[in-house]
A and B are shown apart, each in its own frame.
Chain A
Amino acid sequence: MKYLVRSQGFGATIGVIAMLAVFTVIDFSGWWTVQTLSNVTQFTAILALVALGQALVIMTKEIDLSVGSIYGLTGVAFITLEPSLGVPGSLVVALLIAAAAGFIQGTAVVKGELPSMIVTLGGLFAARGIIYVWTGGSVHNFSPDARTHALTRLLGGELFGISAAIYWVAIISVLLAIMLWGTRFGNRLLATGGSRESAESRGVRTDRVKTAAFVLCSLLAGFAGILTLCNQPQTHVTLGENMELEAISAAVIGGCLLTGGRGSILGVVLGALIVVSFRYELIALGAPSSWYITFVGAVLIVAVIFNQKLARFVGHSV
């Protein structure tokens, strides 16, 4: 119990339990259906992937506002390049584009000593602008052959009635958790966010760690975009618009502190579940769909307060 309370995902765990309890009381028959849970978990998986990347950057005490546009740019690149490169080729090149975007932004932040908020805000606009110029305002279709390609099915299909995105987020979450808590790199990443000076005094190349975090963040956002399109290849130039705000919300609700050095992989996934569930259930209850963002805002503020108090309770200085 003590270990659970000390874990960074504790707030999100409490939040999910409370949310499910409330939904059960007010809308048992609507919420606990296969259709609802299937829809919510599928969209949670997509948002969670983007939020996990965001969490890695937040843990290094930086922020990435470009993830929505990178999600869109990678997805659009995947669809647009497919006719000339095929599904595997366009997948690789699209992910390389995502990685390059992350590398450029990460390098600008660490080498240029620029605020990540400004650099990635520029990235947000630049990537969205590239989408508009590249596509001429309309995204190409995904050919019937590409839709039935084995790789497309692997990324966007179903197994035992469960969407592929859910398996992917589970696999990636486990890998990230191992990386974060079981490898030297994970330790350095948390140390970089916790106290940069202290980490550098111990020989940690914080500039490399931060750049790697930005690359991973963009790669995860790009991969999420590809998963979305493999599942539903009907898209638009607005792909990923405003997703950065939901991703940051999910990461913060999930226990990441903007002061860096703290975070939880499970917490981020649960944070994404809270964001998506609120949107879904509020509409189901008849609230105007634009209201959900108000609720997310309220939950976000509560989560920040709760997570800060929790961090102080277990002895972290925030």
Chain B
Amino acid sequence: MRIGKSILYSALLASAALGVAHAQDGEKQYRFVMVSHIGSNDPNMNWLTTSLKEFEAKYPDVKTEYISTNNYSVQEHVRLLEQAIATQPDGIAVPIVSSDAFEGPLRKAIDAGIPVVAFNIPDGRPDGERIPYLTYVGGDEFLTGKKLGEYALTKVEAGEIPKPTHVVCASHDSAHQGLKARCAGMKEVMEKAGAKFDELFIGAEPATARNTLQSFLQANPDTNYIFTVAGWSSPWAWGVANEMKLDPDVDDKGVTVLTVDEGPVSIEGVRAGHILATNSQGFWLQGYAPMEWLYWNKKFGYAPQQSILTGPLVINKDNADQWAEQVRGVFGDKAYDEQNTW
């Protein structure tokens, strides 16, 4: 009898709690989930989570969720994706890290009427073959290299930096297609300008990378441009060139260094005059815009007819201060200063 009463009270309490929760979520019409490859061990996560908060503030009838893992693997990412789909959200934003691995669960979700937006990494296959997501929101790695190369050539025209004779693209991952595309974009521009071009795999280990780059620069003394395809490796490249007395600061002689990303290292490198330019692929937009398109699709049936490129945008000495302020706002002053390794 006592047990029966307990069960009854528990049921009543649970019903009351559910009722309260339902009342609180009453104004939330939609729930969109971002299943990300960027975990809390990557400072870039702040761009995405900040933009989701701002999206929720603007669209009070939407609840957003950010799901990721610090122990990244494609399998783990697929598991998170399948879990998210099982909760039947109103929309999903996901980077297509592996077309093969994501194809099954995403096609099932799309068939079940859940709209999907790819962000940061598209499905690289042709239109008829790729996962039929609503759209892709993110950067274009080839354009990243190309735009930075074109920017450098405008500075050559202005007489501010030397004409490129030999460009080396220093990459930390020889199998990463995105990094290869960055190098390819730079290569297209620089070879047209008459410069020799080399892609050099330096690895991700700092000492090995410096050793490799030193060897290359020693053997190729005509190299006067270094393009690092990660922001964090730009101080290594600058340091090696500086040790070799190749005058790597931004001026009309010696070596010129270019890099990527809107992180503190890249931006402070530009501000200090060590780096000619870096780029933003619009990380904040890559959080906000997918949510907006999911919302417009659910509410009005809108569907964009092509990919939405959020970058690249060149960050140079003219706009670096403004970017520094913006990035400080996302990362916080303490983290920003700690991450400036110059």
Contact = CB atoms under 8 A, between A and B. Distances in A.
Nearest to A135: B41
B215 A241 contact: no
A138 B232 contact: yes
B205 A239 contact: yes
A259 interface: no
A306 interface: no
Given A234-B341, A290-B174, A136 B43 contact: yes
B206 A235 contact: yes
Contacts of B172: 238
Contacts of B211: 39, 43, 276, 279-280
Nearest to B236: A234
Interface residues of B, number: 40
Interface in A231-252: 232-236, 238-243
A236 B215 contact: no
Contacts of A285: 219
Contacts of A135: 41
A284 interface: yes
A14 to B, nearest CB: 24
Given A30-B218, A141-B339, A133 B70 contact: yes
A289 B214 contact: no
Contacts of B39: 137
Contacts of A238: 172, 204-206
Interface in B293-340: 335, 337-340
A286 B166 CA distance: 14
A140 B41 CA distance: 13
Nearest to B337: A141
Contacts of B342: 141, 234
A273 to B, nearest CB: 13
B235 to A, nearest CB: 4
A92 to B, nearest CB: 22
B36 to A, nearest CB: 13
B70 A43 contact: no
A43 B205 CA distance: 12
A43 B240 CA distance: 13
A142 B339 CA distance: 10
B218 A35 contact: yes
A279 B212 contact: yes
A133 B208 CA distance: 23
A36 interface: yes
Nearest to A131: B41
A283 B212 contact: yes
B121 interface: no
B340 to A, nearest CB: 6
A228 interface: yes
Contact of B206 (A234, A283, A286): A234
Nearest to A246: B208
Q: How large is the interface on A (under 10, 10 to 19, 20 to 34, 35 or more residues)?
A: 35 or more
A129 B218 CA distance: 36
Given A39-B211, A276-B211, A233 B341 contact: yes
Contact of A132 (B70, B205, B210): B70
Contacts of B214: 39, 280
Contacts of B208: 43, 242-243, 279
A46 interface: yes
A290 B173 CA distance: 10
A39 B215 contact: yes
A279 B342 CA distance: 27
Interface string B31-43: 0000000011111
A241 B174 CA distance: 15
A228 B207 contact: yes
A30 B40 CA distance: 46
Interface in B165-224: 172, 174, 200-208, 210-212, 214-216, 218-219
A288 interface: yes
Nearest to B233: A236
Contacts of A138: 43, 232, 263, 335, 338-339
Contact of A289 (B43, B202, B204, B340): B202
Contacts of A243: 205, 208
Interface in A275-307: 276, 279-281, 283-286, 288-290
B12 interface: no
A139 interface: yes
B340 A288 contact: no
B70 A241 contact: no
Nearest to B38: A137
A281 B338 CA distance: 36
Contacts of B235: 234
Contacts of A136: 40-43, 335
A284 B223 CA distance: 13
B8 interface: no
A236 B174 contact: no
Contacts of A46: 207
Contacts of B40: 136
Nearest to B170: A289
Nearest to A286: B219
A15 to B, nearest CB: 20
Contacts of B215: 36, 39, 279-281, 283-284
B27 to A, nearest CB: 34
A184 to B, nearest CB: 36
Contacts of A290: 174, 201
B7 interface: no
Closest 3 CB pairs of A and B: A284-B219, A238-B204, A234-B235
Given A232-B207, A238-B204, A239-B206, 8 more contacts: A46-B207, A136-B40, A141-B341, A279-B208, A280-B215, A284-B216, A284-B219, A285-B219
Interface of A: 30, 33, 35-36, 39, 43, 46, 129, 132-133, 135-142, 228, 232-236, 238-243, 276, 279-281, 283-286, 288-290
12 contacts: A136-B40, A138-B338, A139-B341, A141-B340, A232-B239, A234-B239, A238-B206, A283-B216, A284-B219, A288-B201, A289-B216, A290-B174
